[in-house]
Structures are given as structure tokens and as C-alpha cells.
Amino acid sequence: KQEVTQIPAALSVPEGENLVLNCSFTDSAIYNLQWFRQDPGKGLTSLLLIQSSQREQTSGRLNASLDKSSGRSTLYIAASQPGDSATYLCAVMGMEYGNKLVFGAGTILRVKS
């Protein structure tokens, strides 16, 4: 059974700091890994999608890496801003259990101005 863990559970940083969010998964047989952002009480916004054959993806100040063999992904946020404050979720889509996404519990990020 696939399990996804996100560390830390919460993070508070001053504006301008670079930060790393971690995601680990137990079954490396995945199709892809997706990072999402969720504002309080809202839906999910897709940030980055990494296919199993890829090592990283970049979008603006965001960079996500994937090490499938070790079951790890990181989301790097450069020069953080108060508008980055949200919950960040990672989800994997595995080969063994069909087409569902298995999510971590998320990292709550607060960027202080």
C-alpha cells in the first residue's frame, strides 16, 4: 500500500528566504508525482507535474525534483513571498493501484512579511 509523507508538517519563514518542502513515498512504481497548492477552504492548484522518467521540473520560482529509486521528491521555493502562504500537497500516481492519486497530509507554509 502506497504511503506518502510530507515533512515538515508546518513551516514559518521570513519573506525572501529560500525553502525546501519534502515528500517521501513508499512504493517507487509510480507514473508521476504532482505538487499542488491549496489555499484555506479552497480547491487544489497544480504547481508541477513530474513524470517518472524525469528528474525535475521548474516553473518560475518553483523547482521540484524526483528521485524515484529512493522514493523522494522536494519542492524548492526561491525568494519566498507572503503570497506563497498556503498548504502544499504532493501526490503520487502509482502503477499498482490504478489511476488514483495518493496524497500526503501537506505542509502548511507561512511566509511572514
Q: Residue 1 or 69: which CB sits closer to other proteins? A: 1
User: 79: buried, middle or exposed (CB in 10 Å: 19+, 13-18, 0-12)?
Assistant: exposed
48 and 75 Cβ atoms separated by less than 8 Å: yes
Q: 60-79: which residues touch other proteins (CB under 8 A)?
A: none
Query: Using the rule CB under 8 A, is 101 a contact of other proteins?
Result: yes
CB of 27 to other proteins, least distance (A): 15
Among 11-19, 58-66, 67-75, 95-103, the segment contacting other proteins (CB under 8 A): 95-103
Query: Using the rule CB under 8 A, is 111 a contact of other proteins?
Result: no
Query: Using the rule CB under 8 A, is 89 a contact of other proteins?
Result: yes
List CB contacts of 66: < 8 A, sequence separation 6 or more. 33, 50, 52, 54, 55, 56, 72, 73
Instruction: Cell 513571498: give the residue.
Output: 81
Q: 2-61: which residues touch other proteins (CB under 8 A)?
A: 4, 31-32, 34, 36, 41-46, 49, 51
Instruction: Tell me the β-bridge partners of 74.
Output: 22, 65
Q: Peptide bond before 40: cis, by omega within 30 degrees of 0?
A: no
- Binding residues vs other proteins (CB under 8 A): 4, 31-32, 34, 36, 41-46, 49, 51, 89, 91, 93, 98-106
